[in-house]
Amino acid sequence: MAAGGRDYHLHTSLCGHAVGEMEEYLAAAERAGLTEVGFSDHLPQYFLPPDQRNPGLGMGEEELPRYVEKVLRLREAAAPVRLKLGAEADYVPGHEEALARILDRYPFDYVLGSVHYIDGWGFDNPALIDGYSRRDIGRLYEQYFSLLQAAARTGLFDVMAHPDLIKKFGYRPAGDITPLYEVTARIFAEAGVCVEVNTAGLRVPARELYPAPGFLAACRRRGVPVTLGSDAHRPDQVGLGLADALRLVRDSGFGEIASFSGRKMELVKI
């Protein structure tokens, strides 16, 4: 898989809803022939008071330094796979400073920015799926994309993760959403963020990579770089679907993908 063999979206048991230790994910990466991987486990739920945080949705505050140390320590053992220190951070408006303080404290290679909440509703949580029946789907897509645009504009994130996650359970608006893709791609370009092609979409009712081909094409036209991720929550998901992701990326006209070190991006040919 060579240069395309990069999986920048791996979770671990620390986040409370993934299984497997880092060593198992790294062994799976080597077996899959990946050249570069990054852990991007869910940061603590910094946007909630400590007593309201759900240990099943993000690591504990006290676990974060240990997470960082372990990734850094495993770097040498990971060879020939190159290992990056990433994180997946929720975007919740009004809590930017708290997140900035966390991100400044550690030597992350990259930070994935994710919208998982709309007005406090965890819309990608299977336990809260009934929320869709109480809402207008077209309006929901507008809210989702405006949060995603705001997230990109904060400058806190390097990559916008699973950028049309709102389609996860297969709820699609009746109207044309091309304008949302176009505006969002333009804002990504202005903000200097990458777009993630995330294969988890293939494994949920949406049955489609995140983002949709039309959204990725809009990003390509605007010059937004791309990263790849499986969003593995189990070691056997490392690299899963990456060949499909790479095919869509190439078919969309990309000749390069992004690689990160110390939050600096470099483009590598695919």
Residue (158 or 231) nearer to Fe ion, CB:
231
Closest-CA residue to 49 (of 95, 86, 6):
95
CA 246 to chain centre: 16
Smallest distance from the beta carbon of 18 to Fe ion, in angstroms? 9
SS3 194: strand
Residue (51 or 119) nearer to Fe ion, CB:
119
Smallest distance from the beta carbon of 201 to Fe ion, in angstroms? 11
Closest-CA residue to 198 (of 129, 116, 263):
116
Smallest distance from the beta carbon of 262 to Fe ion, in angstroms? 22
Binding of Fe ion at residue 90 (CB under 5 A)? no
Report the alpha-carbon distance of residue 41 to residue 13 in Å, rounded. 9
Decide: residue 132, CB within 10 A, 0-12 exposed, 13-18 middle, 19+ buried: middle
Binding of Fe ion at residue 231 (CB under 5 A)? yes
Residue (141 or 210) nearer to Fe ion, CB:
210
Which of 12, 45, 114, 237 is in the footprint of Fe ion by CB under 5 A? 114
Report the alpha-carbon distance of residue 254 to residue 226 in Å, rounded. 8
Instruction: Say if CB 130 and CB 27 are below 8 A apart.
Output: no
Smallest distance from the beta carbon of 80 to Fe ion, in angstroms? 25
Which range, of 170-178, 224-232, 234-242, 247-255, touches Fe ion by CB under 5 A?
224-232
44 cis-preceded (ω within 30 degrees of 0): no
Residue (36 or 231) nearer to Fe ion, CB:
231
Residue (45 or 114) nearer to Fe ion, CB:
114
Residue 101 corresponds to which tokens in the numbers above? 């303080």
Smallest distance from the beta carbon of 116 to Fe ion, in angstroms? 6
Residue (163 or 225) nearer to Fe ion, CB:
163
Q: Degrees (nearest 5) of the Cα angle 141, 45, 69? A: 125
Amino acid in position 23: E
Which range, of 71-79, 85-93, 135-143, 216-224, touches Fe ion by CB under 5 A?
85-93
Closest-CA residue to 9 (of 42, 44, 39):
39
Total residues contacting Fe ion by CB under 5 A comes to 3
Residue (42 or 188) nearer to Fe ion, CB:
42
Binding string, residues 160-199; x marks residues near Fe ion by CB under 5 A: ----------------------------------------
**Which residues form the interface with Fe ion (CB under 5 A)?**
88, 114, 231
